[in-house]
Amino acid sequence: MTAITADHLLTRVRELLAAHPPADTDRADFLRARFDAGLAWVHYPEGLGGLAAPRTLQALVDTELEAAGAPDNDPRRIGIGLGMAAPTILAYGTDEQKRRFLRPLWVGEEVWCQLFSEPGAGSDLAALGTRAVREAGSGDWIVDGQKVWTSSAHTARWAILIARTDPTLPKHQGITYFLCDMHAPGVDVRPLRQITGEAEFNEVFLTGVRIPDSHRLGAVGQGWEVARTTLMNERVSIGGMRIPREGGMIAPVAVAWRERPGLRTHALHQRLLELWVEAEVARLTGERLRQQLAAGQPGPEGSGMKLTFARLNQEISGLEVELLGEEGLLYEDWTMRRPELVDFTGRDAGYRYLRAKGNSIEGGTSEILLNIVAERVLGLPAEPRDDKDLAWKDLAR
């Protein structure tokens, strides 16, 4: 098989633009054509939006299409699908599942959410109690339980779901991974109001939800292994986002510092310099992590990046509020909104300060990620545990 080169990709881009001029082509039609041309995610296999090309060449394609005025797929709106569902489906899905789900996912026709955390199984996700029971005769799975902190559940068409299929096994076993139709009977999505006043998250109740066995991802009982693939990709997608120099949360603080010299003090200047340097180090580390991803699946390094992301966002937003003084306490948009995505930069400083508090919880709590880094990066001994070999049904709850 001939290796895909940069010149080959540029030729493909020109052919796509000639056949589907962005100015004259419906947005969704252009995105479907881009997927079919193998220019969606070039490192994916042919026929699934890619060309089995080196992942590093994706930036070349994106740059050329952006320069030509081509639409993107609004990646922030469909981030859970792109960053979590898609790589998991690619790794564990059947050929039929890949063909069915990857194209509408990438185009943005179907939004995804993640049904993992539960009221009694957040940091200790493997303790989850949502049950999936195989129905005799049909082979379908009947799911009952409750999930919580579910981003985008109110707009999602599909969900990645883990449920317990054998309570007689230890908690990390007996879990199976499913693709759940969020429009199926028995799915009830309810808003959770946050400290920001919004209801970006949801709790989801599952009552007798029927999932066909064809929507099972991986083998029965393989759910924890499949979920770890999702979680590693999630942490990379949260902590390893590509941002420009002096971008992200540090940007509005730097702007305020330059435009409002009356706010400056020596102590605040020192803190700003320290956080600016840390933000730049984190940005460059994220670039290196993405380069490592080009060679294979994400590892525990993504947990370290997500840890840094959470800490920096909270410290920077705290500095911004302090820098602005009384004005930093203003928050003009205290409404019960149901946003499709989070906008950190287009809101008040007070909003950024409040919303950043969630960064150390979402995508894995900082305490759990510290354990992962300690054990899998630094090689420190694991904390002693007495529940790993105990059947889930016998665990204290």
From-to residues of CATH 2.40.110.10 in the chain = 112-222
Which residues are known to be catalytic?
234
**What tens digit of pLDDT does each residue of 83-120 get?**
899 999 999 999 999 999 999 999 999 999 999 999 98
Domain 228-377 annotated CATH 3.20.19.10: no
**What tens digit of pLDDT does each residue of 213-269 get?**
999 999 999 999 999 999 877 656 555 566 778 888 899 889 888 888 887 888 888
Count Cα atoms within 13 angstroms, Cβ side, for 148.
14
pLDDT over 70, % of the chain: 90
Query: What pLDDT shows up at residue 144?
Result: 98
From-to residues of CATH 1.20.140.10 in the chain = 228-377
Taking residues 164-170, report their average pLDDT: 97
pLDDT bin (cut points 50, 70, 90) of residue 26 is: very high
Whether 276 shows a pLDDT value over 80: the answer reads yes
What CATH architecture is 112-222? Beta Barrel (2.40)
**What tens digit of pLDDT does each residue of 314-333 get?**
999 999 998 888 888 777 76
Query: What pLDDT shows up at residue 128?
Result: 96
Query: What pLDDT shows up at residue 232?
Result: 79
User: Could you tell me which residue, 267 or 339, shows the higher pLDDT?
Assistant: 267
Tokens of residue 81, six digits: 């699908």
Q: Please give the model's pTM, rounded to 2 decimal places.
A: 0.86
